[in-house]
Structures are given as C-alpha cells and as structure tokens.
Copies of this chain bind each other. A is one copy, B any other.
C-alpha cells in the first residue's frame, strides 16, 4: 500500500503514523518528494481500510498495490479451478457448458417440454426461476416452493441438473436439497448476509455480477462466499448499466480474459440479460465463446410471447439449436469443445 502525505505534514505526524503502521507488523519505507511525502507499506495490508487512512487530514492519497482479494486471487492460486456441478465440470479447458431454460418456472408441463427441447438442442443444465426479483410489486413474483418442486421434476425426467436463483436466507435449505447450482442474482450481489449463508452450503454457487458492480467488487463478493467456506464459485457476467438504451445492459466481453488473469474461477456469460433482446443473443453468444467463456446461460421458451417474464429475450428451441451448432464451431476454432 502506497500512502501519499501532503508536503506540509508535520514531522511529528509522520513519526506517529510510522509508529502506527509498524505496530501492526508492517514495514514502512519513506520517499521524500518536493511537494509530497510517500510511504510504502510492506507486509500484509489486506486488513487495512483505505478510507480510514484517507480520513487523516494529512493524507492525500492511498493506493493498494496488492488486490484486496486473496482466496479468489490468481496470484496465490495459479491453476484454474474446475467447479463440479452434479458431475459436470465447469472451467479450465473443459467443455463450454450450455445452460438453458425459461426465465421463470410457470408449470410442470411447459417446463418439462422446454427442458426436453433444450436438452435435444445441446443444453447440459436447466435454468428456471422459482423466486423472481421484479421491479414492480404488481408483476408475477414466481411460483416459489412449487417452482422448485417442478424443477426437480424436470430434472427427474431429463437428467439435467438445475440452476435457480436464491433470494432470501430463509429458503436456503430448500435450495441446498433441490437445486444443483445456486444462483445469486445481480441485485443480491452485495447482499452480504446471503453471500455468507451460501458460503456455508455444500452446493456450488453461480454469482452474477451486480448491475453497477466493478469487477473488483464482484470478485470481493466471491471472496465473501469463499472465505465462509465454499470454494465452488462460478462467476457470471450479465452486463452492466450504462447510458446506452438500445440494449438492456452493456456487456464488455473483455471481462473474460480479465477474470482469467485476476482469478482462477470459471466465468460464464448470460447473453439474454446482457442484451435483453433475443435477436442479439446469438451474436453475443458466439463472441463469448470466441473470447474464452466457460459457459453460456441462455433463456429459452417454446412460446416466448406467452412467457410470464422476459419473453422478449427468450429464444425458441429451434433458434437455440442453431446457436449451439454455431457456438460449437466457434469453440472448436479456438481449441475447445462444447
């Protein structure tokens, strides 16, 4: 950590600060410039709080040299992590994992039909929301427990492991028992109590990036889960909020090589939420595979125009099959399979 002091800082204060850092086991190097004095702290600074140091009136600037995450940090864990989801490996050079299904579970029959269709098209996991975060209290909020039951039934029928979003701590047992990959949604990325709770669960977690979360904050949320005891975290990018309104969100695929550089965790992409428009989903999916994504989670529905949520971004099974076929070619072009 590098701390810049104002040039008029009294010597007494400099000495006091050095003492304070040394008492925490850090070694302090001082650089004296014309207009500034700079401290370099050597040692483990991950417990220091930048904003607390900044509250000292003589401090002008604080910069972390080392990333604030440890367990997720590639530097301390150079090999790729492969997360096992009910037998399916995700990450490293494993096959690109195709996850598909409706935005929201609407009934057992329609869910099973969709599940069979996407399986036929090439999907290896089934997604579906039972508890739905909706902007309006007047929108359909999901089937709840009944939805989870229907997901389990669809898994029974098709053999596809299921992914579903957990919104609240009080449902955690239900999810641990019935869901193969527990999703933490974008709006809950910094619901820290929920992160700690899934950190104690014996199931892998799919952690979506928050709508306005920096990459660093996103990794720190993974760190919450990991430091609570659960190392099986898959990151999922779904676009961030920007001024652009032609798309629902703006998704920078540069996160794929970046996440690989900074962490050892698998990274999958959600082109449905990123674009919000089924017509754009295929191009973005192929791009994600070309950039090295470990998986794609895509909304599919047999009758999008009758879907109770987000039909606009849902692909019909035949379009999805086409996407899988083309994505496979792209995967092979970059030395991978799907």
Contact = CB atoms under 8 A, between A and B. Distances in A.
Interface of A: 2, 4, 29, 31-36, 38, 40, 42-43, 46-47, 49, 51-52, 54-57, 60-61, 63, 65-66, 68, 75, 133-141, 167-170, 187-188, 190-193, 196, 211-212, 214-217, 220, 223-224, 227-228, 239-247, 250-254, 256-258, 261-262, 274-276, 278-280, 282-284, 286-292, 304-305, 307-314, 326, 329-330, 332-334
Say whether chain A's binding surface is mostly helix, strand, loop, or mixed.
mixed
Contacts of A223: 136-137
Nearest to A54: B312
A49 B104 CA distance: 14
A258 B196 CA distance: 38
A317 to B, nearest CB: 15
A216 B134 CA distance: 13
Given A215-B246, A280-B254, A333-B333, A66 B35 contact: yes
A66 B312 CA distance: 20
A2 B63 contact: yes
Most buried by B among A32, A140, A286: A286
B46 A138 contact: yes
A42 B52 contact: no
Contact of A291 (B29, B168, B276, B283): B283
A246 B217 contact: no
Each complex incorporates copies of this chain amounting to 4
Contact of A193 (B65, B168, B239, B244): B168
B257 A279 contact: yes
Contacts of A47: 138
A274 B247 contact: no
Contact of A133 (B40, B190, B291, B329): B190
Contacts of A332: 333
A47 to B, nearest CB: 6
Nearest 10 A/B pairs, CB to CB: A55-B311, A212-B212, A31-B40, A290-B290, A287-B287, A55-B312, A333-B333, A286-B290, A287-B291, A329-B333
7 contacts: A2-B4, A61-B65, A68-B138, A170-B170, A212-B212, A246-B258, A251-B252
A214 B245 contact: yes
A305 B57 contact: yes
A242 B245 contact: no
B167 A168 contact: no
A308 B52 CA distance: 7
A292 B286 CA distance: 9
